[in-house]
A and B are shown apart, each in its own frame.
Chain A
Amino acid sequence: MLAKIVIVGAGPAGIRAAEVLAGAGLQPVVLDEARQPGGQIYRQPPPGAERDAFTLYGSEAGKARNIHAAFGRLGKSVDYRPDTLVWNCSSNALNILHKGRQGIVPYDRLLIATGAFDRVIPFPGWTLPGVFTLGGAQIALKAQGVSIGKRVALIGAGPLLPLVASQYLEAGADVAAVLDVTPFGAKIRALRGMLAVPEYARRGLSLLLKLKKFGVPTAYDVRAIEVTGNWHVDGLKWRDGAGRWHRIACDAVAASFGLKPEMQLADLAGCATYFDEATRQWLPSLQAGGRSSVPDVYLAGDCAAIGGADVAELTGKRAAYSVLRDLGIGFAADELKGIETTLARHTRLRKALDAAYPFPTHLIDAMSDSLTLCRCEGVTVGELRASYVKTSAPDVNRLKAFTRVGMGRCQGRVCGAMAAEILAGQSGASLPDVGRLRGQHPIKPIPMVV
């Protein structure tokens, strides 16, 4: 009997993995929460909202078309199940929710390609209507052809910032400012490393030139941010490296500070994790070929480590080849060799990008007691600090039990890492020691229906 292989996620990693496995005649199951394949990066607008690929994906239009076409070609050689939420994993089976109905999908091998989510750092006003993540701002444009506001300020600490800025400008949006909270010098110093993937360096440079051409106010080394407004965004205050405050009128803000793997499913599948000092976040422990610490579970794309869409395609294929190898199914190794070589260059690029956009610890240091940290439950930084003073909670799960931080609908996806930062800052313990919020099902809310 054929091994039952289940891929979770139909972004670039999941699609390329499906391609390899389908090519070997294994008919993988592809479960995806979205209604259409492509993931967030190559997300397709819903029927009725279609636009041409170049408008949607700009310089990445070719890649987007290729990915969508590749998945389309697979046809019946994959068991594709869109609009399917995977909300739990235990004993080699996944609990799924499709159109309000519960189901179970057992697997022999599980390939997780659940992507990433914006890394969030709270600042005053971040819960006001009109503040979104950079990824959210991009989705609004890509999937719906709308801008998140009439006049938009964009804030970030990663390559997504200039990308979203240029996409908004090209679409005709009024971009009030592009504020990078990391120093410009870091990018210059990292330039050499970025040349490991010349195409990427070229693209980055052209984005910066575009911002210049549009004449949008751009600042680096932004030290503090404050969104103003009574019940929705009416402006933004920011402080520069010299300590001067600036004011911008705007009705929308998009801000996030790099990306964070969506590793809840890997966590529930029992995959070991480690704290990555370089990116200051928890990652799944990866073994050769995209294998996780659990024998039947493989990881690919941004959920394994942030690498971007190109890397996701490669690690998707690589993990699929590992599945084939572990099942004792032969394949031509030439492509795999090429993948490893290219990935090595991308690893150098990623190191350079991490250096170009260092984690903005100054935004953590600036957090005042009145700042809301957990937007679901409305828990403030001050409540977390006070709870530590009272209880000496040694880890973030204990802090959660006392304060409700991370207990809301998002299950700490947004605020968990920041709660750990606050606890570490208050207690003097290291981030690895304060730990991360333990995964619990459901990964996303599921309805109580009979």
Chain B
Amino acid sequence: MISESPQFHRLAERSGEQLVITVDNRDVAVRQGDLIITAVLLHQKAIRRFEFGDGFRAGYCLMAACQDCWVSLGDGRRVRACDTIVEPGMEVRTGIFNANGKTENC
């Protein structure tokens, strides 16, 4: 359900090479210069689970202030999705899909 419809929509076509990253182990086509939050929310409506209750979060301020969009990367780093630019092969883990896994945000 959460993956079926995007939250963000591209309004401006632009150059920027097409890249592939994975979001929760699924390939996602993005463009060079996309922030992780853009890359994720162009494909789904949330970026992480809320730690202390039901529900999801999708970031909030997009300027690295509110700290709502922390995600884990395959290399072990934890980053803000709103101020981290995608890199080819990047593995983004939102923790949304593996309810029993070890992803920190579950």
Contact = CB atoms under 8 A, between A and B. Distances in A.
Within 8 Å by CB, do A and B touch in the complex?
A: yes
Interface of A: 33-35, 40, 45-51, 55, 100, 117-118, 127-133, 135-137, 139-141, 143-150, 171-173, 231-232, 251-252, 262, 375-378, 408-410, 413-414, 444-445, 447
Contact of B64 (A33, A131, A140): A33
Given A133-B61, A136-B60, A232-B56, A252 B50 contact: no
A262 B66 CA distance: 12
Contacts of B31: 48-49
A49 B65 CA distance: 22
A312 to B, nearest CB: 16
8 contacts: A34-B83, A48-B14, A50-B15, A127-B50, A140-B62, A375-B57, A376-B67, A447-B77
Among A172, A376, A445, the most chain B Cβ lie within 10 Å of the Cβ of A376
B101 interface: no
Given A141-B11, A144-B38, A409 B70 contact: yes
Nearest to A374: B52
Interface string B13-49: 1111100000000000001111100100110011100
B71 interface: no
Contact of B55 (A48, A127, A144): A127
Contact of A375 (B56, B68, B70): B68
A410 B57 CA distance: 14
B15 A48 contact: yes
Given A231-B56, A232-B45, A410-B67, A251 B7 contact: yes
A119 to B, nearest CB: 11
A271 to B, nearest CB: 19
A362 B37 CA distance: 33
Contacts of A136: 59-63
Interface range on chain B (Cβ under 8 Å from partner): 35 or more
Given A34-B83, A139-B82, A232-B7, 14 more contacts: A33-B83, A47-B32, A51-B14, A136-B63, A139-B63, A144-B33, A147-B11, A148-B7, A171-B11, A173-B11, A252-B7, A375-B66, A378-B53, A414-B60
Closest 10 CB pairs of A and B: A48-B33, A49-B33, A145-B12, A48-B32, A129-B58, A409-B67, A48-B16, A136-B62, A378-B52, A139-B62
B102 interface: no
Nearest to A132: B60
Given A129-B45, A171-B11, A172-B11, A444 B58 contact: no
B9 A149 contact: yes
Interface in B81-95: 82-83, 85
Contacts of A137: 62
A374 to B, nearest CB: 10
A34 B33 CA distance: 14
A445 B67 contact: yes
A410 B65 contact: yes
Given A51-B12, A231-B55, A131 B60 contact: yes
A135 B65 CA distance: 11
A132 B8 contact: no
A34 B49 CA distance: 26
Contact of A50 (B9, B14, B42, B57): B14
Contact of B16 (A49, A117, A135): A49
Given A46-B35, A48-B16, A148 B60 contact: no
Listed residue (B46, B47, B67) with the most chain A CB atoms within 10 angstroms of its CB: B67
Q: Which of B61, B77, B78 has the largest count of A CB atoms less than 10 A from its CB? A: B61
B9 A143 contact: no
B81 to A, nearest CB: 12
A413 B68 contact: no
Contacts of A118: 61
A55 B12 CA distance: 9
Contacts of B32: 47-49
Nearest to B48: A129
Contacts of A55: 12
B38 A140 contact: yes
